[in-house]
Amino acid sequence: MSEQTFAAEKEQLLQDVRQVLSSTEDLLSAAGEEGGEKAQQLRQRIADKLKEAKARLTEAEHVMVDKAKVACKATDQYVHDNPWKSIGIAAALGFLLGMLVSRR
């Protein structure tokens, strides 16, 4: 999956979650103004919206975990295909981090 597709999916998911949370806030506001049977209906709608938000966030978590697994596999494959390059990169990064930490 390309970076653009991933970014588009991420943005769409965030927009969906924002919309659900906005709807939930509106319902909470309306529930505070209503009493009796209408309040019960509003509370039920709020509970449904929160379940929907939770489901979307769980979906996002699964997508991110899958993407992380793909990245880990690609990194593992690269390290196995290019062990000396990987060692050199790791040594250079360690050297740079060591210099940055020693300045403090």
Instruction: Print the SS3 string covering 3-57.
Output: HHHHHHHHHHHHHHHHHHHHHHHHHHHHHHHCCCHHHHHHHHHHHHHHHHHHHHH
Give me the pLDDT at residue 37, please. Answer: 79
Q: Residue 84: pLDDT band by 50, 70, 90 thresholds?
A: very high
Supply the range of the domain harboring residue 69. 3-102
So what's the pLDDT on residue 91? 93
Residues with Cβ < 8 Å from 6, sequence gap 6 or more?
Answer: 67
Residues 8-39 pLDDT 10s: 777 777 777 778 777 777 777 776 666 677 77
Dihedral over Cα of 65, 66, 72, 75: its sign: negative
pLDDT in the model for residue 96: 94
Q: Full-prediction pTM beyond 0.75? A: no
In tens, the pLDDT along 48-82 reads: 877 887 787 788 778 888 888 898 899 899 989 99
pLDDT at 97: 92
Please report how the helices 83-102 and 37-81 are oriented relative to each other, as an axis angle in degrees rounded to 10.
120
Q: Which amino acid is at 22?
A: S
Maximum separation of any 2 CA atoms in the chain, in Å: 72
User: In the chain, how many domains are there?
Assistant: 1
DSSP letter at 103 equals T
